[in-house]
Every structure is written in structure tokens, then in C-alpha cells.
């Protein structure tokens, strides 16, 4: 069995790491270069860097910032936000990214998933999905959670897999930032819907939530932001806790 991954997420706005609750009430929490280096030292398995307003502000991601972050870490690094064509992904790969994450641009142009997978390989392509559960139906949202689409969570994930996506990064907007646990029922359904790895995002508040997301939620990786940024949970301590609970992790 593959080891489960612990993945800190750095949401970037105006060059700074920020965090919100339910995608709003955004607060600045630190320098992304320093935080990235810190998490690499602390034993994170990967990092995710998302320029959360790039699409909304209709601009490209900060390639220079990606270069700076990449110089200070030695673990896989996923970058997302404002990627809408092959040359964007090419620039990020050249800047040091190991994988790219697409969200709004893929909803608007699903062929982008095929093109990226064909040009760079499926392992390079992460489809990020922000979804909200309303009346037992999971609707997909884009533009940083601002715009509801006509896509349904599980069918969109399956389509993305069929088009060549190598991973799904699913954020439950209902759970985001409230620290009451991941959307384990939806994650378990997601994991049975697709064969590619699923990264769980939204809801981590304590160590037990990670046990739940790997057992009940069947996720391959657990992503979190605020609990790591505010040092409420240290990655080394979390991994030891998971190991004691029979979860396979890299120590």
C-alpha cells in the first residue's frame, strides 16, 4: 500500500500566504517562501501553491515567486491559479513546479486537460475541484468559489480522469476553514468513482480528522492550511500519530 501524504497548502494573494473560512474572510498569514521551506524541513510530503485570485483578476500566476519557492524546497510542488494554456504550464515547469493544478480553466475548456496530459504527462496534471453540497447535490464552483457551474462533482471528476488528469484535488467549500473534519462521505464516493489519487481538502482541525480522511474518506492525501500555518499541529507530530493509528506514512 502506498504511503498517505500530508500536504500543506499555501493560498497566495498579492504575493503573501493567506487563509479564509468558507472561501471568504481572507487573512494574511506569512511569506510563502519561508513557509514553503519550513514545511519541507518539517517533513511535508508535498506542497500545493494556489494563486487564489489569479483567475478572478484575469492575470497569470507569479512565475518569479514560483522560482523563489522552488529554490528553497526539496519536495514535490504543485502550482495552480490562472493557468489557461500550454505555455502557462510550460513556464511553471521551467520555474520548478513538479505538477500544475487547473480548476476554472478546465471547466470552461475541458480539452485543456487532454492537451496538458498529452504534452506533459498525466502525472503533471492535477484537477482541482471546489464544490458545495446543497440539498444533497454537490455543485462545482469556479473563480475561487465565486461562481456556481452546471457541473456535478463526481461526474466532473470522472470526466477529468478520462481526459487524462493524474490526480483530483477536491475541496469541500462547506468544510473549508471550519476545522470540523473533512467531507469523508463525499471523499469515499470520489475514491470509488475514480482510479486516480484523490487529495482531500477542507475541514482539517485536529489529528483525528486525518485518521478519518484516510480510513473513512479513502483519500490518498490530506491537505490543510491554517492548522499548519498557525502551528496548531506540527507535521512530525501528526505523522507519528497517524503511524500509531496504523496509517502508513513516510517518517
163 backbone dihedrals φ, ψ, rounded to 5°: -85, -10
* pLDDT for residue 143: 86
Residues 6+ apart with CB under 8 A from 225: 8, 9, 10, 11, 19
130 as an active site residue: the answer is yes
- Tally helices (H) and strands (E) across the chain: 10, 12
Q: Whole-model pTM?
A: 0.92
User: Is the predicted pLDDT of residue 27 greater than 80, yes or no?
Assistant: no
Q: What is the pLDDT of residues 131-170, one digit of tens each?
A: 999 999 999 999 878 899 999 999 999 999 999 999 999 9
In the three-class reduction of DSSP (H, G, I as helix; E, B as strand; rest coil), residue 224 is classed as strand
Q: What is the pLDDT of residues 194-245, one digit of tens each?
A: 999 999 999 999 999 999 999 999 999 999 988 998 899 999 999 999 999 9
Name the fold adopted by 5-244. TIM Barrel (3.20.20)
R_g of the chain computed on alpha carbons: 16
Q: In whole numbers, what is the pLDDT of the chain averaged over residues?
A: 91
What is the residue extent of each domain of the chain? Answer: 5-244
Comparing 29 with 61, which gets the higher pLDDT?
A: 29
* pLDDT for residue 58: 46
* pLDDT for residue 155: 98
Of 45, 51, 88, 130, which is the active-site residue? Answer: 130
Q: What is the pLDDT of residues 72-94, one digit of tens each?
A: 999 999 999 889 999 999 999 99
Which secondary structure element, helix H or strand E, spans residue 147, and what is its range?
strand 147-152
User: Is the predicted pLDDT of residue 181 greater than 90, yes or no?
Assistant: yes
User: Is the predicted pLDDT of residue 28 greater than 80, yes or no?
Assistant: no
Amino acid at each position: 500500500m502506498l504511503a498517505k501524504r500530508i500536504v500543506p497548502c499555501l493560498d497566495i494573494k498579492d504575493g503573501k500566504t493567506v487563509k479564509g473560512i468558507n472561501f471568504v474572510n481572507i487573512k494574511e498569514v506569512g511569506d510563502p517562501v519561508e513557509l514553503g521551506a519550513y514545511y519541507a524541513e518539517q517533513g511535508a510530503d508535498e506542497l500545493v501553491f494556489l494563486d487564489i485570485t489569479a483567475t478572478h483578476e484575469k492575470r497569470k500566476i507569479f512565475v518569479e515567486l514560483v522560482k523563489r519557492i522552488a529554490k528553497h524546497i526539496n519536495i514535490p510542488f504543485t502550482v495552480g491559479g490562472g493557468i489557461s494554456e500550454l505555455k502557462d504550464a510550460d513556464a511553471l515547469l521551467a520555474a520548478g513546479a513538479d505538477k500544475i493544478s487547473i480548476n476554472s480553466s478546465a471547466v470552461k475548456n475541458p480539452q485543456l486537460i487532454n492537451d496538458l496530459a498529452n504534452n506533459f504527462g498525466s502525472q503533471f496534471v492535477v484537477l482541482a475541484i471546489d464544490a458545495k453540497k446543497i440539498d444533497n447535490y454537490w455543485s462545482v464552483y469556479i473563480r475561487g468559489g465565486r461562481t456556481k457551474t452546471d457541473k456535478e462533482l463526481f461526474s466532473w471528476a470522472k470526466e477529468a480522469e478520462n481526459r487524462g488528469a493524474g490526480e483530483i484535488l477536491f475541496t469541500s467549500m462547506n468544510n473549508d476553514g471550519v476545522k470540523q473534519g473533512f467531507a469523508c462521505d463525499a471523499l469515499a464516493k470520489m475514491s470509488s468513482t475514480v482510479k486516480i489519487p484523490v487529495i482531500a481538502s477542507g475541514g482539517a482541525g485536529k489529528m483525528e480528522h486525518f485518521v478519518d480522511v484516510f480510513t473513512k474518506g479513502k483519500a490518498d492525501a490530506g491537505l490543510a492550511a491554517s492548522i499548519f500555518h498557525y502551528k496548531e499541529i506540527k507535521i512530525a507530530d501528526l505523522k507519528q500519530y497517524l503511524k500509531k493509528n496504523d496509517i502508513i506514512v513516510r517518517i
